[in-house]
């Protein structure tokens, strides 16, 4: 896929000029769904990608030719300023981050740089180029961490339990701060876990759906997991990117919890996924203490009443449908790979 060289854009606009959006993290799960959604809404979609020795554009391969990619990095301030002044987006969606919680204990400083300070770099670029650009920050339910209150709302105090959660709290507050200091239309979406067939295989839902497909098709024997009692409020990524866009279409910027309001354990997830292919999970799943986290969070369940009332947002895919969707997609992919003799 080709990456654009910097080109300065005409700043004059007519009423027919399509809205321009810039997505950081366009190669990730949410970036791919958001890009598709914005294209459907008639946007001109630009994506920021970092340099890598191998291209990892699988999730956006199908929209290649409809989006423009630009090289920049959350660690490099000048590259972000140059990108925003070249593209001159109306809306910036900051989805890029080191997003895997266990990695944040292995690389806490890098996580702070990407996931925390990276937000300030994007906001600084907007402040310097054009404070009229609308900004969405991908905040997380991990900010709530070890909360007492359940379910969590926009007013629930934060108690992050991982370097990732701590970095996201910084990203959240710097977004609020730039809104209040510079009058930038900046919103923080406090999103609870959201999953899909495009989810990275290191996250528990996809690890399970991939393993179920491989076990069913005879190319894997067992599945090792960590804490089966851990519980999350899991929704569908396709529903959640709609909420991101809705936040930037309001008259006033604000922060919103986006969640289903339901909590399920990893054990529920495993049982549903194995049942879907007619297997008894207890014959295949074992637990490995190495997969336990230094600190766990147990009470994450969101209350999205504000988003429902102000944005008109509600999730459309429920948990059992999500699990079935992910297992079916992995069955199809693993079967194809077996037929192509890749497995
Ligand atoms: P993801 O699949 O892990 O995608 C992360 C994206 O960030 C990838 O495109 C990655 O690019 C990019 N990135 C990482 N470091 C970068 C850097 N230094 N410079 C430029 N790009 C960089 O994450 P996701 O699930 O789509 O989540 C999107 C955002 O929402 C993240 O900020 C995440 O923390 C947050 N969030 C996610 C959830 C969830 O349940 N999914 C919930 C709450 C918040 P490469 O392809 O080059 O690695
Ligand atoms: O799927 P997970 O790795 O997601 P986690 O840690 O909740 O983080 C995700 O959601 C956040 C929103 O709250 C995002 F901000 C973040 O970027 C990311 O997208 O783990 C979910 C739960 C944990 O409690 C974990 O301990 O599953 C438990 N789990 C049990 N066994 C496991 C495993 N998690 C993983 N990744 N792998 C296991 O084998």
Residue 195 CA, closest ligand 2 atom number: 19
What percent of the chain lies above the pLDDT cut of 90?
A: 92
Pocket test for ligand 1, best of 3, 24, 26, 28 (most atoms within 8 A of CB): 28
Residue 307 CB partners (closer than 8 Å, separation 6+): 243, 246, 256, 257, 258, 313
Closest ligand to Cα 76: 1
Q: How far apart are CA 32 and CA 22, in angstroms?
A: 12
Q: What is the predicted pLDDT for the residue at 11?
A: 55
**pLDDT one-digit tens code per residue, 118-151:** 999 999 999 999 999 999 999 999 999 999 999 9
Cα(296) to ligand 2 centroid in Å equals: 10
Candidates 54, 50, 45, 56; CA nearest to 21 is 45
Cα(292) to ligand 2 centroid in Å equals: 11
Cα(29) to ligand 1 centroid in Å equals: 7
If you take atom 33 of ligand 1, which residue's CA is the nearest one?
99
Q: What is the mean pLDDT of residues 284-312?
A: 96
Helix (H, G, I), strand (E, B) or coil at 31: helix
**What CATH class has 20-195+234-258?**
alpha beta
- Which positions are annotated as active-site residues? 140, 142, 164
Q: What is the DSSP letter of 91?
A: E
Q: How far apart are CA 32 and CA 289, in angstroms?
A: 34
Cα(10) to ligand 1 centroid in Å equals: 30
Phi-psi region of 256 (alpha: psi -120 to 50; beta: other; left: phi over 0): beta
Q: How far apart are CA 228 and CA 287, in angstroms?
A: 8
CATH number of 204-232+263-296+318-342: 3.90.25.10, 1.10.357.10, 1.10.375.10, 3.30.70.250?
A: 3.90.25.10
pLDDT at position 38 over 50: yes
**pLDDT one-digit tens code per residue, 66-100:** 999 999 999 999 999 999 999 999 999 999 999 99
Q: How far apart are CA 146 and CA 148, in angstroms?
A: 7
Q: Domains of the chain: which residue ranges?
A: 20-195+234-258, 204-232+263-296+318-342
**pLDDT one-digit tens code per residue, 40-54:** 999 999 999 999 988
Q: What is the predicted pLDDT for the residue at 8?
A: 47
Pocket test for ligand 1, best of 46, 54, 97 (most atoms within 8 A of CB): 97
């Amino acid at each position: 896929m080709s990456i654009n060289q910097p080109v300065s854009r005409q700043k004059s606009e007519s009423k027919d000029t399509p809205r321009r959006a810039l997505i950081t993290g366009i190669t990730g799960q949410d970036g791919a769904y958001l890009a598709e959604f914005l294209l459907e809404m008639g946007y001109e979609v630009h994506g920021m990608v970092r340099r890598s020795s191998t291209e990892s554009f699988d999730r956006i391969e199908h929209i290649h030719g409809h989006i423009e990619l630009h090289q920049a990095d959350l660690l490099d301030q000048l590259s972000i300023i140059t990108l925003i002044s070249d593209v001159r987006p109306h809306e910036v969606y900051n989805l890029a981050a080191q997003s895997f919680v266990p990695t944040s204990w292995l690389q806490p400083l890098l996580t702070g740089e990407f996931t925390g300070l990276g937000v300030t770099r994007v906001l600084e670029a907007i402040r310097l180029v054009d404070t009229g650009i609308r900004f969405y920050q991908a905040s997380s339910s991990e900010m709530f961490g070890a909360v007492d209150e359940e379910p969590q709302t926009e007013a629930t105090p934060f108690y992050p339990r991982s370097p990732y959660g701590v970095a996201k709290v910084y990203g959240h507050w710097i977004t609020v701060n730039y809104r209040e200091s510079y009058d930038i239309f900046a919103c923080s979406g406090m999103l609870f876990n959201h999953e899909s067939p495009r989810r990275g295989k290191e996250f528990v839902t996809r690890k399970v759906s991939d393993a179920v497909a491989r076990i069913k098709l005879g190319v894997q024997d067992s599945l090792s997991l960590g804490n089966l009692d851990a519980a999350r409020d899991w929704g569908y990524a396709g529903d959640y990117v709609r909420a991101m866009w809705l936040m930037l279409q309001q008259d006033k910027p604000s922060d919103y919890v986006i969640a289903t309001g339901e909590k399920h354990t990893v054990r529920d997830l495993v049982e549903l996924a194995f049942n879907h292919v007619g297997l008894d999970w207890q014959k295949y799943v074992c637990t490995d203490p190495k997969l336990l986290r230094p600190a766990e969070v147990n009470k994450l369940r969101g209350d999205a009443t504000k988003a429902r009332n102000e944005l008109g947002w509600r999730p459309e895919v429920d948990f059992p449908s999500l699990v079935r969707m992910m297992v079916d997609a992995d069955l199809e992919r693993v079967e194809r790979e077996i037929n192509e003799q890749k497995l």
